[in-house]
Structure 1
Amino acid sequence: MENDLTTDVTFKSLGLTGSLQDGLDEAGFTHCTPIQAATLPLALQGRDVAGQAQTGTGKSAAFLLATMHYLMETPVEEDKRGPWAIMLAPTRELALQIHKDAEQLGRFTGLKCVAVYGGTGYDKQRKALEDEADIIIGTPGRIIDFYKQKVFSLRNIEVVVLDEADRMFDLGFIDDIRYLLRRMPPPDRRINMLYSATLSHRVMELAYEHMNDPETVRIETDHVTAENVTQKLYHVPKEDKIPLLLGLFRKHTPDRTIVFVNTKRAADNVMGYLQGNDYDAEVISGDIPQHKREKLLKRFQDGDLPILVATDVAARGLHIPSVSHVINFDLPQEAEDYVHRIGRTARVGESGDAITLACDQYVYSLPDIEAYIGEKIPAEVVESDMLVEPKPPKRPKRPANAKGGPRKSGSGGGRRPPRNRNAANG
């Protein structure tokens, strides 16, 4: 897929196994992004890789292609059982996105990929694992849960991927990750890949402890933020934020807009005002039941839901094409969160707008954000005609079932690959 962020390196030049190339051809992917061009040749040679690139630049495709190529090209002993690869992500949204990408890229390989994450689908995930997964993609807590129950073994893991390793630290998952890594074959008997938006000292310490002399690849850009994002900042009193938000939506049609807030309470408040003023908006946050989150995200991706109000649980791992606007209703308190929020727009060569409202409550984080991104966010004046007098907010309905409704039954599904992987290429 040619765009401003691709290189002249083609996927066909990498010598990928035939079934993967078929998947790339069907998806319309022809040229590598910089992180793919820099890391795929190394990983395809069996080298360990620690890769850094900004969000939305194709990191997941890089490690998925390298992993699946290795599994397809490496014969399996008849008496051994999978899983053969494990991919750890900090959030269920990111795990689901990686799984979706894996299904697309690997649809002709016969490899069975299972998504394992908390919040929903316990029995379905367990059955899928019992049916022998080739690749497990998921969050550490649920994976450890099933591992301790001996639903699967880690003794034959050949490839390990840590995605968004910096976020793993932020969310306190490092002890869980070390627990899993220490129960796999030693680093020199597996391929290890680590990808992160930042390769900080603590991330590299983890890499050197649990990887086999990794090649470090940093894709540097002139700007930490995506170059195709138009940034804008308004200094506004707290009480004028809702009127300004409504004024912004009056100015542009919110076809696909994410409004970021810092707390669940603020999310409910913003959604209430938007719905009360005739805008179709829903909240996605950490305590929304998983099945409901998936439905909301699908509506948003399909264009049926124009506005998503989100806490930072949605800032990473969501690859939603054609998000036109990101609005920071609350200025984030961490500089990196600003980058990840506005990275939801301008994905892989597209363009988008990021508008930030800096109020007296959160403006103190602005200097750190601007220092981190290496530039001043252009500030604009709030004219009086930009403020819209809001109608009263719509009160949120109490859910009929606080636990998220009845659990749906289902099977693990998926085609089971032949024991000798090379036969799938036949």
Structure 2
Amino acid sequence: MTDTHLSDTTFSKFDLPEPVRQGIEEAGFTRCTHIQALALPIALAGRDVAGQAQTGTGKTAAFLIATFNRLLRHPPDPQRRPNQIRALILAPTRELAIQIHKDAVLLGKHTGLKLGLAYGGTDYDKQRQQLADGVDILIGTPGRIIDYFKQKVFDMKHVEVMVLDEADRMFDLGFIKDIRFLLRRMTPPAERQSMLFSATLSHRVMELAFEHMNDPEKVQTEDEQVTAERVRQVIYYPANPEKIPLLLGLLKRLGPSRSMVFVNTKHMADKLDAWLRGNGIKARVLSGDVPQQKRQRLLKQFEDNEFDVLVATDVAARGLHIPDVSHVFNFDLPQSGEDYVHRIGRTGRAGAEGDAISFACEASAFTLPEIEQYIGFKIDSEAIDRSLLVDPAPPAKREVRQPPGGRARGGRGDPSRRGGPPRRRRSG
């Protein structure tokens, strides 16, 4: 965390239980980020908070510290059964839920509080048994949590803290009915502490806050620019045939240490991956149909520098915490301003600097006015220096493996080859 990203407020200023203070110190935290300095005084006093801050600014630590404080200061009801959770933290994506749980393990390891994690795609019986055995804090995505709730694996009659992270994304992914289902079945707003965090506190987000929270106090960092200040943004206007030569030229000239390239469809992700590999660039694809265990393995390999470029569809734009991404490329411009913000938010995290480079080609330039209106300024454009356009080698051939006892995927009739835009997938 850079000094410019930190406030003058130190964690030592707050009256925190010793186990919480010990976790903060061992995590290496001394000074609060700006959103932490704004939200913690309110949350530690037991009041509800609706906070707006950019991605990567420390929201997770703010609500975890407040949650631990509340649960340690208020002993549980003696009548509470083990499978009755005390806190619920909801996230829109599996990756974000996993990251929150990871941070909770680090910050809360001295609290004695039991943590549970529930998300779709894997470990169904393992997660179910963990909840049946009893946890204090349940972290997860709405779909899997509702599944277990309806089976009566756990209940919410003793919920003391509710956290809704990235509330705007909950709307985008169609989770809002699920969120309301859960909120209506836990303790009433006046009997619990509620915290809501979002990159944008839109009217629909605040409507949800006032409906299901107890007079929440709204806080937001002073910088109202929705994209991180330290991310340099530039746009090129290539013809469609120039996009791959331009991307290869930029990767060669800039030499990014770790970069993400966003595209709008899985078909384009696979195509671009083949071009990159054919030109000597180690790349992998992360899209909506990648199984959860493989997704986690890919992300770990990316963090460990086993490959240089992660080609991703928008399913990966939110909730991923990948340190030290130096460059984000929008090979295809996204279809909305919100998607643009969350794509480029993968770089310039925690006060670091980063670069976001976008291509406005004939196929996607029409979305640029909406993006610039959303972020509140015009993105600087760069003329294409012809020396940047690399004459590419042919794309690598796609590796086709013959599954045991069946036809190889990727041939005619394979559903994965069907055209058309990808269907929006729910992450819970």
TM-score, normalised relative to structure 1: 0.92
Q: Give the total of aligned pairs.
A: 402
Q: 1:240 to 1:193 in 2, by over 3 A?
A: same
Give SS of 2:261's match.
strand
Cα offset, 1:400, TM superposition: 6.6
Partner residue in 2 for 1:101: 103
Give SS of 2:7's match.
coil
- Name which of 327, 333, 349 aligns with 2:329: 327
Cα offset, 1:306, TM superposition: 1.6
Give SS of 2:5's match.
coil
Partner residue in 1 for 2:185: 183
- Name which of 240, 265, 268 aligns with 1:266: 268
Q: 1:39 to 1:140 in 2, by over 3 A?
A: same
Q: 1:261 to 1:3 in 2, by over 3 A?
A: same
Runs (5+) with no aligned partner, structure 1: 403-426
Cα offset, 1:2, TM superposition: 5.2
Give SS of 1:348's match.
helix
The residue identity in structure 2 corresponding to 1:79 is Q
The residue identity in structure 1 corresponding to 2:397 is R
Q: 1:358 to 1:2 in 2, by over 3 A?
A: closer
Whether contact under 8 Å (2:199, 2:226) holds in the other structure is no
Cα offset, 1:74, TM superposition: 1.1
Say if 2:313 is the partner of 1:311: yes
Cα offset, 1:373, TM superposition: 1.5
Give SS of 2:234's match.
strand
Partner residue in 1 for 2:57: 57
The residue identity in structure 1 corresponding to 2:3 is N
Cα offset, 1:109, TM superposition: 1.3
Structure 2 CA distance for aligned equivalents of residues 48 and 262 of structure 1: 38
Partner residue in 2 for 1:68: 68
Structure 1 CA distance for aligned equivalents of residues 350 and 230 of structure 2: 9
Whether contact under 8 Å (1:117, 1:138) holds in the other structure is yes
Partner residue in 2 for 1:412: none
Partner residue in 2 for 1:20: 20
Say if 2:143 is the partner of 1:129: no
Q: 1:372 to 1:149 in 2, by over 3 A?
A: same
The residue identity in structure 1 corresponding to 2:261 is V
Q: CA RMSD in A?
A: 1.5
TM-score, normalised relative to structure 2: 0.91
Whether contact under 8 Å (1:90, 1:139) holds in the other structure is yes
Give SS of 1:4's match.
helix
The residue identity in structure 2 corresponding to 1:65 is I
Structure 1 CA distance for aligned equivalents of residues 309 and 256 of structure 2: 7
Whether contact under 8 Å (1:247, 1:386) holds in the other structure is yes
Structure 2 CA distance for aligned equivalents of residues 183 and 222 of structure 1: 35
Whether contact under 8 Å (2:275, 2:395) holds in the other structure is yes
Partner residue in 1 for 2:281: 279
Structure 1 CA distance for aligned equivalents of residues 207 and 373 of structure 2: 25
Q: 1:399 to 1:21 in 2, by over 3 A?
A: farther
Whether contact under 8 Å (1:154, 1:183) holds in the other structure is yes
User: 1:172-196, CA deviations, whole angstroms, 9 ceiling, x for partnerless residues?
Assistant: 1111111111110111111111111
Whether contact under 8 Å (1:115, 1:138) holds in the other structure is yes
Q: 1:14 to 1:398 in 2, by over 3 A?
A: farther
User: 1:73-103, CA deviations, whole angstroms, 9 ceiling, x for partnerless residues?
Assistant: 2111333133110011111111111111111
Give SS of 1:212's match.
coil
Structure 2 CA distance for aligned equivalents of residues 62 and 176 of structure 1: 25
Whether contact under 8 Å (2:2, 2:350) holds in the other structure is no
Whether contact under 8 Å (1:2, 1:31) holds in the other structure is no
Cα offset, 1:401, TM superposition: 6.7
Q: 1:381 to 1:97 in 2, by over 3 A?
A: same
Q: 1:222 to 1:117 in 2, by over 3 A?
A: closer
Structure 1 CA distance for aligned equivalents of residues 28 and 381 of structure 2: 39
Partner residue in 2 for 1:6: 6
Give SS of 1:156's match.
coil
Whether contact under 8 Å (2:2, 2:352) holds in the other structure is no
Once the two structures are superposed, the pairs formed by residues 131-280 of structure 1 within 5 Å of their partners are: 131-221=133-223, 223-280=225-282
Cα offset, 1:398, TM superposition: 4.4
Give SS of 2:16's match.
coil
Structure 1 CA distance for aligned equivalents of residues 257 and 284 of structure 2: 14
Cα offset, 1:257, TM superposition: 0.4
Structure 1 CA distance for aligned equivalents of residues 180 and 52 of structure 2: 21
Whether contact under 8 Å (2:8, 2:32) holds in the other structure is yes
Q: 1:30 to 1:361 in 2, by over 3 A?
A: same
Cα offset, 1:222, TM superposition: 5.1
Give SS of 1:299's match.
helix
The residue identity in structure 2 corresponding to 1:72 is L
Whether contact under 8 Å (1:255, 1:307) holds in the other structure is no
Partner residue in 1 for 2:91: 89
The residue identity in structure 2 corresponding to 1:163 is D
Give SS of 2:284's match.
strand
Give SS of 1:8's match.
strand
Partner residue in 2 for 1:35: 35
Cα offset, 1:239, TM superposition: 1.5
Once the two structures are superposed, the pairs formed by residues 334-373 of structure 1 within 5 Å of their partners are: 334-373=336-375
The residue identity in structure 1 corresponding to 2:141 is T
Cα offset, 1:114, TM superposition: 1.6
Partner residue in 2 for 1:389: 391
Consecutive aligned runs of 4 or more in structure 1 exceeding 4 Å deviation: 398-402
